[in-house]
A and B are shown apart, each in its own frame.
Chain A
Amino acid sequence: MSTRRTGSGPTLNFKAVLLGEGCVGKTSLVLRYMEDKFNTQHLSTLQASFVTKKVSLPDERRAQLNIWDTAGQERFHALGPIYYRGSDGALLVYDITDQDSFQKVKSWVRELKQMRGSEISLIIVGNKTDLEEQRAVSYETALRYAQTVGAQYVETSAKENEGVSELFELLTQLMLEHHGNKLQHDASSLRLQSGSSGIGISEDIDTDADNAGAAAEQRSCCGI
């Protein structure tokens, strides 16, 4: 089964979501990545925008990135689950000149850990490095925090086009690795199940995001 699915099958499909407070530059990152543009005027995003991009993987396979760019305003917070529920990766964006936006990232991390467990790859993104002189969150602080929660840490400037394409490459790579692990894992658990039918955890593993928390727990006990 695993060989059939990991093999040179159709295009891989990855879903990712950008989360973070308003005005930190989520839309700017996407705009820079998708169209290599930057808009100096800030217009709050009051919706979630869905964009797709085809990318070539290092092993010459093709993958499609489906990216949700969400609204950062407080009142949209409750809609978060719609977008992260089915996602393989999340970019948690903050503004390096704004301490509060970094705290908001922490709250998203907590929520995602609780709802999705290890199902979702996390990258914390410190944006606006072009405003270095106004920096309020040090690189080390952010990096250390990212390491404690098992996330990657990247700094970017959508305005100066620094680190943006690298960011999305890293994201793709993480989701790809995770995808690979998951397939292996699925395969092993299937073997496990067929070996001793009494355990019967396969349903849990195959359920999607909605039961992710539970699934992740189950998995850790059977993944020996």
Chain B
Amino acid sequence: MEIEQTPTSASDTNSTCEYMDAEGEPDNETELSAGDLYQEAEHAETEQLGHSIISELRDELGTHASKCDGALSPNASAATGQSKDLAASVESLALSTSTSAKTEDRGSANELDDDQYDYQHDSVWRGQKKHIFILSEAGKPIYSLHGNEDKLVTLFGVIQALVSFVQMGQDAITSIHAGGIKFAFMQRNSLILVAATRTNMSIQQLQLQLSDVYYQILSTLTYSHMSKIFEKRKNFDLRRLLSGSERLIYNLLANDSSNARVSNNIFTFLTNSIRVFPLPMVVRSTIVNTIQSNCSKIKNLVFAVLIANNKLIALVRMKKYSIHPADLRLIFNLIECTESFKSSENWTPICLPKFDMNGYLHAHVSYLSDDCQACLLLMSVDRDAFHTLSEAKERITEKLRKSQCLKAINDELEQPFNVKLYQQVLGVPELRHFLYKPRATAQLLCPMLRHPYKSLPEFERLEAIYCSLLHRIHNSSRPLKLIYEVKEREVVLAWVTATYELYAVFESIVDKATVIKYVDKLIKWIEKEYDVYFIRNHATF
């Protein structure tokens, strides 16, 4: 009961402070939103267990997707006409790679004081391989991957005009192809998200990326909170509520070669999956049992997630509930972006949009110990559960230390890559890289990047190969089962069976028979070692 009092009196207190707003907007709006946020948290706690909206959300996604391709046709000519303007204004997103990376304090930095600054004549900005823009339906800038979004109002105006023009015809703009650039559009809940790229990413892949960003925003604000804000004020400046979270959005988007990053992370996004931390089966099941036995009595605990090095060690969940890979990626992103989790115990609200887009879970986040850099998240619907979960975490760490599990995790962490996988890959020098994803789980196995893909230009080519393979395999109008292609510099194979998807890249000198032989060998090995590299079922409390 006493909790009930708190929000009202808290917001009362606030509404007396008329100065709070630095931007000169009406202050009670701020207060209201804070109040709403709180009530939502409350609301979520009561509702969260009641019903899951995951399926509902899937339906929504489904209809969107089916609308996509045809959607443009009635207005195609008109849209393309306008697209020329847009294309002209973003004219040469030149192919040249740019090394300029956006820094953390972009907004506050003294980088561009000139109001007249024009990005359209800035070769660095135009040279970026990928742009992402987010604005509200009212045209207010929210985010730009490169450059200060405030200086892009002209471009945002064009985007808004395009979107609303197509909307007038009871339609929705999906994409524009112009001047060698693909523009993907997405409209969700008063937000307009646009991706522009010259890379090989397909429109669907761009849209997947846009939806990841959208979920990142929901994860910070929740769907209902954001809806309420825009209902109240169409032209609300959402940046005020997202402040501090820009780095999460940036990290989510900057995981590919367009930001000069050479890592396997992009492939988890492209395959809509996560990666699993390799561990002997007995170690993993000891870890799971330890988490179960120390958490089973804690009410309201929904998920326990153990992560190391951006890979999943274990996931224990409340009966009947599961985490979608998109939600898991948000969790990985949060951990990856937050160094400060390492130095303390933390308590953070997080919305997992695929689980419930209207409410927050409260996560106890901490690393197991100073000498074991695995991060444990205990997620509860109870916002006052910190100390209970903190004690549980202590017990878990202690038990894991005794059972040598911490050591097992450390042994694996200390290796630059998984030894057995490395040996396996070394055994087939012609196999340069592969992606293996069992169809039963959203988990991905891929070997470390090695020569020649350690250099950025070569990695870009690898990324382009996978983008194109994945796009053709998953093409909704004409899905393929098997692709074998001899390219100038490599031989590539994509193969979908009832149990797995495999994408492999070979030296250009191998012939078909050899490829088949090697793939066969690889598959047999993976099946034998399956439980080291994949988690079949996530345990429940």
In the bound complex, CA of A75 to CA of B383 (Å) = 16
From A42, A48, A75, contact of B348 by CB (8 A)? A48
Question: Do A81 and B6 form a contact, CB below 8 Å, given A46-B338, A47-B365, A49-B344?
Answer: yes
Any chain A CB within 8 A of the CB of B75? Answer: no
Any chain B CB within 8 A of the CB of A139? Answer: no
Question: Do A115 and B243 form a contact, CB below 8 Å, given A47-B346, A75-B221, A78-B38?
Answer: no
Flag if B104 contacts A42 (CB, 8 Å). Answer: yes
Q: Which residues of B contact A69 (CB under 8 A)?
A: 344
Flag if A51 contacts B344 (CB, 8 Å). Answer: yes
Q: Which residues of A contact B338 (CB under 8 A)?
A: 43, 46-47
Question: Do A44 and B244 form a contact, CB below 8 Å, given A74-B34, A82-B383?
Answer: yes
Q: A residues 5-40 with Cβ under 8 Å of B?
A: 22, 27, 31, 34-35
Any chain B CB within 8 A of the CB of A138? Answer: no
In the bound complex, CA of A82 to CA of B221 (Å) = 19
Q: Which residues of B contact A114 (CB under 8 A)?
A: 9, 12-13
Q: Tell which of A42, A45, A107 has the most Cβ of chain B within 10 Å.
A: A107
Please classify how large the interface on chain B is, using the bins under 10, 10 to 19, 20 to 34, 35 or more: 35 or more
The proximity string for B residues 118-159 relative to A, scoring 1 for CB distances below 8 Å and 0 otherwise, is 000000000000000000000000000000000000000000
Main SS class of interface, A: helix
- B461 CB to closest chain A CB (Å) equals 34
Flag if A74 contacts B241 (CB, 8 Å). Answer: yes
Flag if B38 contacts A82 (CB, 8 Å). Answer: no
Flag if A103 contacts B20 (CB, 8 Å). Answer: yes
Q: Which residues of B contact A211 (CB under 8 A)?
A: 2
In the bound complex, CA of A48 to CA of B35 (Å) = 19
In the bound complex, CA of A107 to CA of B18 (Å) = 10
Any chain B CB within 8 A of the CB of A191? Answer: no
Q: Which residues of B contact A163 (CB under 8 A)?
A: none
From A27, A48, A110, A115, contact of B347 by CB (8 A)? A48
Any chain A CB within 8 A of the CB of B296? Answer: no
Q: Which residues of B contact A100 (CB under 8 A)?
A: 19-20, 22
Q: Which residues of A contact B16 (CB under 8 A)?
A: 107, 110
Q: B residues 366-402 with Cβ under 8 Å of A?
A: 383-384, 386, 390
Any chain A CB within 8 A of the CB of B30? Answer: yes
Flag if A79 contacts B9 (CB, 8 Å). Answer: no
In the bound complex, CA of A34 to CA of B343 (Å) = 10
The proximity string for A residues 56-95 relative to B, scoring 1 for CB distances below 8 Å and 0 otherwise, is 0000000000000101011111111110010000000000
Any chain A CB within 8 A of the CB of B265? Answer: no
Flag if A110 contacts B34 (CB, 8 Å). Answer: no
Flag if B347 contacts A77 (CB, 8 Å). Answer: no
Any chain A CB within 8 A of the CB of B56? Answer: no
From B11, B34, B105, contact of A42 by CB (8 A)? B105
Flag if B384 contacts A115 (CB, 8 Å). Answer: no
Question: Do A74 and B30 form a contact, CB below 8 Å, given A46-B245, A106-B17, A111-B13?
Answer: yes
Q: Which residues of B contact A115 (CB under 8 A)?
A: 6, 9-10, 13
In the bound complex, CA of A73 to CA of B30 (Å) = 12
From A34, A71, A107, A210, contact of B17 by CB (8 A)? A107
In the bound complex, CA of A76 to CA of B350 (Å) = 12
Flag if A47 contacts B244 (CB, 8 Å). Answer: no
Q: B residues 336-362 with Cβ under 8 Å of A?
A: 338-341, 343-349
In the bound complex, CA of A210 to CA of B10 (Å) = 13
Flag if B365 contacts A103 (CB, 8 Å). Answer: no
In the bound complex, CA of A46 to CA of B343 (Å) = 14
- A5 CB to closest chain B CB (Å) equals 22
Any chain A CB within 8 A of the CB of B37? Answer: yes
From B13, B245, B345, contact of A107 by CB (8 A)? B13
Closest A residue to B35 using CB positions: A78
- A119 CB to closest chain B CB (Å) equals 14
Q: Which residues of A contact B37 (CB under 8 A)?
A: 75, 78
- A203 CB to closest chain B CB (Å) equals 14
Q: B residues 151-174 with Cβ under 8 Å of A?
A: none
Q: Which residues of A contact B383 (CB under 8 A)?
A: 79, 82
Any chain A CB within 8 A of the CB of B264? Answer: no
- B29 CB to closest chain A CB (Å) equals 11
Q: Tell which of A31, A45, A76, A77 has the most Cβ of chain B within 10 Å.
A: A77
In the bound complex, CA of A44 to CA of B240 (Å) = 13
Question: Do A50 and B386 form a contact, CB below 8 Å, given A35-B343, A71-B244, A73-B243?
Answer: yes
Flag if B104 contacts A81 (CB, 8 Å). Answer: no
- B336 CB to closest chain A CB (Å) equals 13
Closest A residue to B243 using CB positions: A73
Question: Do A46 and B7 form a contact, CB below 8 Å, given A35-B343, A78-B35, A79-B383?
Answer: no
From A44, A82, A110, contact of B13 by CB (8 A)? A110
Flag if A77 contacts B34 (CB, 8 Å). Answer: yes
Any chain A CB within 8 A of the CB of B224? Answer: no
Chain A interface residues (CB < 8 Å from chain B): 22, 27, 31, 34-35, 41-51, 69, 71, 73-82, 85, 100, 103-104, 106-107, 110-111, 114-115, 210-211
Task: Identify 20 residue pairs between A and B in the complex whose beta-carbon atoms are under 8 Å apart, listed by A's number.
Answer: A35-B343, A41-B104, A42-B104, A44-B243, A47-B338, A47-B340, A48-B346, A49-B343, A49-B346, A49-B347, A50-B344, A74-B30, A74-B243, A75-B33, A77-B14, A78-B10, A78-B34, A78-B35, A79-B41, A81-B6
Chain B interface residues (CB < 8 Å from chain A): 2-3, 6-7, 9-14, 16-17, 19-20, 22, 30, 33-35, 37-38, 41, 104-105, 220-221, 240-241, 243-245, 247-248, 338-341, 343-349, 365, 383-384, 386, 390
The 5 closest A-B pairs by CB, nearest first: A44-B244, A47-B348, A78-B38, A210-B2, A107-B17
